[in-house]
Amino acid sequence: MALPHLLLLLSLHCSLFVALVSGWKTLQGSPPVVIARGGFSGLFPDSSLLSYNLALKTISPNVTLWCDLQLTKDGVGICFPDIKLDNATDIIAVYPDKAKDYLINKVPTRGWFSVDYSFNELANVSLVQGVFSRTPSFDGRKSHILRVENVAKLVKSPSTGLWLNVQHDRFYKHHNLSVEKFLHSLSTKQVSISYISSPNADFLRRVRSNSGLKKTVTIFRFLELHEIEPTTNKTYGALLKNLEFIRTFASGILVPKGYIWPVDSELYLHKHTSLVSDAHKQGLKVFVSDIVNDVTFSYNFSYDPLAECLSFIDNGDFSVDGILSDFPVTPSVAINCFPGVRRNSKKQVDTLIISKYGASGDYPACTDLAYKKAKSDGADVIDCPVQISKDGIPFCLSSIDLSTTTNVAQTKFRTRKTIIPEIQKGSGIYTFSLTWNEIKTLTPSILKPYEKYLLFRNPKFKNQGKFITLSEFLSLAKGSGVLINIENAAYLASKRGLSVTKAVLKALQKAGYDKPRSPKVMIQSTHSSVLKVFKDKSKYERVYKVDENIHDADDKAIEDIKTFADSVVVKKASVFTQNAAFLVNSTTTVARFHSFKLPVYVETFSNEFVSQAWDYYSDAFFEINSFVIGVKVNGIITDFPKTAARYTRNRCLKHGKKAPYVNPIEPGKLLRQISKSSHLTPSPPLPVLHDSNVTEPHLPSVSGTFPIFGAAR
């Protein structure tokens, strides 16, 4: 009896030694494994050839292909994500009125099941995207259900292999089908299975005793804490407390991410549990599931799936041994590019990271909290859109209309709502209608650009922070570059008697930003008339913002821009055109400005997956990478500066031979794989920027005293 325990201790000692030498805190000290659930199922139909091939092309070599094993009526093993075929195929159209009722884990369930069809009968059935929030554009590709043997043939060295997940062994046994018999048939065909997982302890015991599967690693899959494991009749929560028992029939465990990083009812993280270290002490590997890019996860990660992956592998306390994901390229990047990368790590590219209203993805825009977060997150330049109060105090706010980012509409100041066509179409309560002391009493509101998708930003802090004057901003930003954005200057000067440009110049001078060796100052505007005011201030970089989407600019327009600006800002759509959230092609915009030696900054980069084209795998890393590496933009303007700043420090950028996941996305490549039945309507071509779009009269001088309010509502 002592020998097995001695061998286990020796094994654990060796694993600990390897871990200490390699730096990885996995059980054996090797990098975590990436498991592609049904291939790249976050984009293509789960378990389709398209899905598996994309996983292999973007992640290889460190990828394991996951196959949810189901059995057909004639005993053929297929890879399919659910026991019900109607969840991710068009079987309802192929075999209408063929639904059956079965007990699944003692629960009556109606649907179309593989046990009622031979494999040949399923040849007419096509795989479709089973998650409604994902694009259905690839459903018409006639992706057929694959045999396990077909998927196994896709695995080529040095890939880490094939993972079979067996969820319903008892159901198939009830229908006179044997998963074990099928597994034995695979071993006789020289099909290698790297891992087999199951939530059934007795099934894993039988797998371990199968002589043909001695090299296969058995993994016990934990379901939700309250669910009952059929062999022991105990909850998975209870079994979690007896890892020594799990070790008798499994070499590892697969757990939902909440087992390791639990969250409260509002989706904020608790302290991580000791599960990983406890399991490692028992010699058990730990794999984590439910790592998905396109769902709402803990607000602590700011909609950044890469940050979530890093919390499981690079937190200083532990590392899981593998990550199961629908978007396997994200954990692959986390493992290969970011371990050990910190705020003070050396930048690998010179791209400027410029905040958008501070870290407005995490806190209300232009508040002290948003600016402090942007600075601590590593933004190179922090921005202040300057507005001006009724009593002439310049301050930072994302909009001249207080209604968009404050509670002003719920206060006594709501009666000051006016319509001013020169500023916007609808009515608003404008900054110049309230004194600074009145504005300071307002409560800030966090921006909600993707509210219609039910994606909200940091709700616990949605009304936190305070608004600050331009002078306070310049003091807070010391040590960082600053970008001062000036809009509506002509209206304010001619109609309100307020000079924003003079207020900005005075504040910069008072804060010492006009002195030699002071931090970088950028003055941005969509109006050439504003930038011309700063022509003699060579210390300041004048930034012209192109407000419309364009695909090119003619020589005359660029030559004109060079007379009043030192750089330009364009929108993302002016660099890569899109159609139905798919990239179509690259424009010549950046190259044209670069040919005239004008740096180009691009906005706005957000973390929410709905803000990105499908081509970027629902991960901000790939979008940023395509702009930085693909077209070499000079700066990224983002409301999540932490994500962008971390990108510039990733170690994969310094490698001479780029991994497939570090290459920029090729526009149009994914679009070409869409089924012709999708019928995407071509988008109209973007215009060229002409000189007439750029030229405008000089900024009017400040004159007279004017009424505070505009036209009656």
Q: In angstroms, rounded to a whole number, what is the distance separating the alpha carbons of residues 214 and 171? A: 25
Mean pLDDT of 442-467: 97
Task: Confirm if 529 and 487 have CB atoms less than 8 A apart.
Answer: no
pLDDT in tens, 487-507: 999 999 999 999 999 999 999
CB-based contact 480:379 (threshold 8 Å): yes
Give the pLDDT of residue 657: 64
Span 168-181, pLDDT tens digits: 999 999 999 999 99
pLDDT, position 677: 67
Nearest Cα residue to 167 out of 217, 221, 125? 221
Among 462-466, 649-653, 656-660, whose mean pLDDT is lowest? 656-660
CA distance 427 to 250: 65
Q: 320 near 287, Cβ under 8 Å?
A: yes
Is the per-residue pLDDT at 54 higher than 80?
yes
- pLDDT-based confidence at residue 517 (cuts at 50, 70, 90): confident
User: Which ranges of 378-515 does DSSP label H, i.e. alpha helix?
Assistant: 436-439, 470-476, 489-496, 500-510
pLDDT given for residue 12 in this prediction: 43
What is the reported pLDDT for 212?
A: 81
* CA atoms of 83 and 86, how far apart (whole Å): 9
Torsion of CA 623, 628, 631, 635, to 10 degrees: 110
pLDDT tens per residue across span 345-386? 999 999 999 999 999 999 999 999 999 999 999 999 999 999
Confidence (pLDDT) at 453: 95
Torsion angle of the four alpha carbons 302, 303, 305, 311, in this order, in degrees rounded to the nearest 10: 30
Task: Give mean pLDDT, residues 625-649.
Answer: 97
Identify the pLDDT of residue 16.
38
What is the C-alpha to C-alpha distance for residues 31 and 436, in angstroms, rounded to an integer?
Answer: 55
Report the distance separating Cα 604 and Cα 570, nearest Å: 9
Instruction: Express each pLDDT in 280-326 by its tens digit.
Output: 999 999 999 999 999 999 999 999 999 999 999 999 999 999 999 99
pLDDT (tens digit, 9 = 90+) per residue, 129-149?
999 999 999 998 889 999 999
Q: Which residue has the higher pLDDT, 603 or 105?
A: 603
147 to each of 79, 139, 343, how far by Cα in Å? Answer: 6, 19, 47
d(C-alpha 323, C-alpha 261), whole Å = 14
Indicate whether 431 pLDDT > 60: yes
Percentage above 70 pLDDT, the chain: 94
Residues 535-544, mean pLDDT to the nearest whole number: 91
Quickly state the pLDDT bin for 445 (edges 50, 70, 90): very high
The amino acid at residue 453 is Y
Which residues are CB-neighbours of 132 under 8 A, at least 6 positions away? Answer: none
644 bridge partner residues: none
CA distance 26 to 286: 8
Split at pLDDT 50, 70, 90, the class of 710 is very low
pLDDT of residue 383: 98
**Worst-scoring range by mean pLDDT, 121-135, 157-171, 454-468, 538-552?**
157-171
Q: Of 354-358, 421-425, 518-522, give the range with the top mean pLDDT.
A: 354-358
Q: At 488, list the tokens.
A: 């509506």
Q: Output phi, psi for 107, to 5 deg.
A: -110, 125
Q: Give the Cα separation of 103 and 171 in Å (integer).
A: 8
Helix (H, G, I), strand (E, B) or coil at 530: helix
Given a cut of 80, is residue 559 above it in pLDDT?
yes
Stretch (H or E) spanning 521: strand 521-525
pLDDT band at 648 (very low <50, low <70, confident <90, very high): very high
% of the chain at pLDDT higher than 90: 86
Of the two residues 318 and 13, the one the predictor is more confident about is: 318
CA dist 594 and 683 (Å) reads 26
Max CA separation in the chain (angstroms): 98
